[in-house]
Amino acid sequence: MDVMKAIRTRRSVRGYEDTPVEDDKLMAVLEAGRLAPSAKNLQEWRFVVVRDAETRQKLIRVARDQAFVGEAPVVIACCADTDEHVMRCGQLCYPIDVAIAIDHMTLVAVELGLGTCWIGAFYENQAKQVLGIPPEIRVVELLTLGYPKLGEPGQPKSRLAMDEIVHWEKWGGTRPQ
């Protein structure tokens, strides 16, 4: 599958088959995250892979009672071991870098026939407690991973038109003809 097809086909999956994710596929997804670029090549991301059913059930509560979190055969806590490095533009590196790694992971998952869902609605301190994550580590996102149920994922969501999101040469500038 080419990258643009993976981008066009990726959806947030909230229904998973009760089928384990094969080790080679899981490792390919994790490898995609490992290979992602990062500011100053700091590679602050860290991943906690959760397959244990009992732990996944605990993560439902952590994820504000989103039941599909426990249904997914794998939940990955996407974390950062960070020194809070700020780029010259004023942005913290770790949330951006972890997001890039997650995006790489989701695209490889699509290629492998797997579904994912980014979970930003969760209680970080509870996630740390359930997963034994040290206080100095940030939990940026949870990522569910598994085989989508029949009918999942749904139709593509609407996207703004290119001329609504792209400015040329300066804010408000239009595309040259």
pTM over 0.85: yes
CATH numbers and ranges of domains, the chain: 3-165 (3.40.109.10)
Residue 31 — very low, low, confident or very high, per pLDDT cuts 50/70/90?
A: very high
105 contacts 30 by C-beta, under 8 angstroms? yes
Query: For the residues 20-38, what does the mean pLDDT come to?
Result: 98
| CA–CA separation, 84 and 86 (whole Å) | 6
* 147 token code pair: 């085989």
Query: Quick count: other Cβ atoms within 10 Å of Cβ 38?
Result: 17
What pLDDT digit, counting tens, does each position of 132-166 carry? 999 999 999 999 999 999 876 667 789 999 999 99
